[in-house]
Amino acid sequence: MDSPKVPVTLITGYLGAGKTTLLNRILTERHGKKYAVIVNEFGEEGIDNELVVDADEEIFEMNNGCICCTVRGDLIRIISTLMKRADEFDGMIIETTGLADPAPVVQTFFVDEDVQSKVALDAVVTVVDAKHFLSAVDEEHELAEQVAFADIILLNKTDLVDADTLSHVKSKIHALNKFAKVIETVKSGAPLEDVMERHAFDLTRILEIEPGLLDEEDDHEHDEDIISISLTTDQPIEPEKFSQWIRGFIMERGVDVLRTKGILNLEGQENRYVFQGVHMVMDSAWGAPWAPGNRSSKLVFIGRNLDEGELNEAFQACTVAA
């Protein structure tokens, strides 16, 4: 039997958002677990851990600068080396620089067989500074990407803003990423069980896409560069039609599509079909059987320059009723 994979938590966030504070909270709470920590830079705040490795943010463009084929060479090297002493820790935490693009980091976990066989990306946790987010997000490309890639967002420093500002920040985050669970914090004080061991990339654990997410009024503005779009249908999906459409769409627009997630009711199948993607890297699995009655297919995209009406039309055209 294969050994269980070492979980890796990725902490991103803009400069001064509270990433290292979160990291130190994780490391110092009494959970009985040891973590190997990979950081890009040693900031003013020290890191309270025995095993800290310095990464040098080496972007490795495997294919002429195409973002879909870009990984982090330093992480492949460091993870390979760390795994030779895997008995010394229970998990890894990567803290990126404030300016890091999360896409190459995330893709690193899906391109190399050795990395894939030994470690598993658990979740992308993005720390957002409530006070400075609104003034920075439209100017700083990386900040929007960090929010867009997140599974969990710590909306931090909420004590430094008034209720109105906080509401605006939440709306903006929601527009960029409706997937993510948002936790409001002061001094990055989130319960650890909300941040660690979330299995956000584990297809076998995806039963739902954020309950309630798809029922909300779609009230965000559509002039965002990055937006998130959720689509749903109660009609069974015709597998061949859907396969042809989604594969063609990702092939053509994979550079713009940051993350994709879907739970599908395929015609004639008793089990859910679950898939997810980061740019062009896709993966799928059969999930649990559908409960009687409710067999709603859901599809979510986060990306740039996406047209919700067009996507919905194409999605609805994949149903057996179309």
Partner 1 sequence: MDDILGLSRPKATGDAQRIKALAREYLRVPESATVMVSELHCHEDGCPDVETVIAVMGGGDERRTWKIDKPMADISPEDVWGCIK
Contacting residues toward partner 1, per CB under 8 A: 58, 60, 62-64, 66, 68-69, 73, 76-77, 80-81, 110-114, 116-117, 239, 242-243, 246-247, 251-252, 254-255, 266, 271, 273, 275, 277, 280-286
The least distance separating partner 1 from the CB of residue 254, rounded to whole angstroms, comes to 7
Q: What is the 3-state secondary structure (H, E, C) of 135-172?
A: HHHCCCHHHHHHHHHCCEEEEECHHHCCHHHHHHHHHH
Q: Give 112 or 184: the residue with its C-beta nearer to partner 1.
A: 112
The least distance separating partner 1 from the CB of residue 127, rounded to whole angstroms, comes to 29
The least distance separating partner 1 from the CB of residue 269, rounded to whole angstroms, comes to 8
Question: Crossing angle for the helix pair 102-111 and 141-149, nearest 10 degrees?
Answer: 40
Taking the C-alpha atoms of residue 30 and residue 44, their distance in angstroms, rounded to an integer, is: 24
Torsion of CA 180, 181, 184, 189, to 10 degrees: -110
Q: Give 61 or 218: the residue with its C-beta nearer to partner 1.
A: 61
Q: Give 47 or 255: the residue with its C-beta nearer to partner 1.
A: 255
The least distance separating partner 1 from the CB of residue 69, rounded to whole angstroms, comes to 5
| DSSP code string of 106-145 | HHHHHH-HHHHHHEEEEEEEEEEETTTHHHHHTT-HHHHH
Question: 64 by DSSP, 3-state: which?
Answer: coil
The least distance separating partner 1 from the CB of residue 113, rounded to whole angstroms, comes to 4
Q: Give 190 or 274: the residue with its C-beta nearer to partner 1.
A: 274
Taking the C-alpha atoms of residue 55 and residue 78, their distance in angstroms, rounded to an integer, is: 8
Element (H, E) at 273: strand 271-278
Q: Give 65 or 293: the residue with its C-beta nearer to partner 1.
A: 65
